[in-house]
A = this chain, B = another copy of it.
Amino acid sequence: MDAPFDIVRASHIEYVVTDIDEARRYYSATLGMVETASEGSRVYLRGIEDRTHHSLVLTEGRRPGLSHMAFRLRSELDMKKAERFLEAEGIRHSLAEGEEKGIGPSLRFQDPSGFPVELFYRTDAVEWELQKYHSHHGGRIMRIDHFNVLVPDVAGTVKWYVEKLHFALSEFTEDDDGSMQAAWLRRKQSSHDIAVMRGHGPRFHHAGFIVSDRDSILDCADILSSSGYFRSIERGPGRHGITNAFFLYLRDSDRHRIELYTGDYMAADPDLQPVRWSVHDPRRQTFWGAPTPESWTNEASDVIPFDFPAHHKD
């Protein structure tokens, strides 16, 4: 059975931050993301490898939060199919155009777990920074990779993304009673586009950004520490058993979290079996054993629900 519409991949997020200058200093000057555009108190950033207009939008506001996470669709036709799907499912949504620079029309809705999701298919062309090595700096962030969210009912959220949106299950953790505690789901050909972990929710745990290699992550930790961002390093560097990726978790001044991430696997084949981890295996989280800090387990960004106009299309 075909998917109701074709999601290509996790494509960008928008974080509301309380100090846009500080956020810009952190993500652009320090971590090395590239500024594509800005307007008022909103900045559009992309990674060195991104060929889309942005993978991170920072918008100044009074309360920090995730204002949306966006998946890119394959084509205009998929937008139409997505709209029909949302109508058929009875999910409130709106069609926005021009609210966000650099992309075409976008469909916005709250998913059944409460996350503000945006779908779009068109993006403005931007210069490719990949081989402008002399301009790379800081964390040398290459591209966005995945979203990680917290929900009370992991199995329920996973079921929706797998059965309705045709995500594939790459890995999962399970308690002794067979209950799913966390899951890594993919559309593109890597371990995941979205991970779902059990916790108070809906909250947004982090966005993962790819870097080239482990040394880029180690260099970034050095740079953060030496440039006054010692406290922004929350966890790592280390290797995850799950996904096999090498990681570093960072918190910005509004406590939004991102992960620098490298070294997971290609997942192109259609018959890959999901990898099961017991929640009692400590190597699932940290292959080398360093304890997970409490803040990582307990803290996450609030999500800001879309505020649909009274007479919007739903």
Contacts from A to B (Cβ < 8 Å) = 8-9, 30, 49, 51-52, 72, 74-75, 122-123, 125, 128, 130-134, 137-138, 143, 188-190, 210, 212-215, 218-219, 221-227, 230-231, 233, 235-239, 241, 244, 246, 263, 265-266, 268-273, 275, 282-283, 287-291, 293
Contacts and interface: CB of A to CB of B under 8 A. Distances in A.
Contacts of A224: 288
A226 B132 contact: yes
B268 A227 contact: no
Nearest to A188: B268
Q: How many copies of this kind of chain does the complex include?
A: 4
A183 to B, nearest CB: 18
Nearest to A138: B134
Nearest to A275: B128
Contacts of A213: 213-215, 263
Contacts of A8: 268-270
Contacts of A273: 51, 125
B215 A268 contact: no
Contacts of A125: 273
B74 A270 contact: yes
A230 B265 CA distance: 22
> By CB atoms of chain B within 10 A, which of A9, A230, A283, A288 has the most?
A288
Contacts of A72: 269
Contact of A75 (B9, B238, B270, B282): B270
Closest 8 CB pairs of A and B: A134-B227, A133-B222, A133-B226, A221-B288, A189-B189, A188-B268, A215-B215, A213-B213
A241 B222 CA distance: 10
Contact of A49 (B215, B230, B266): B266
A217 to B, nearest CB: 10
Contacts of A287: 131, 221-222, 225, 230
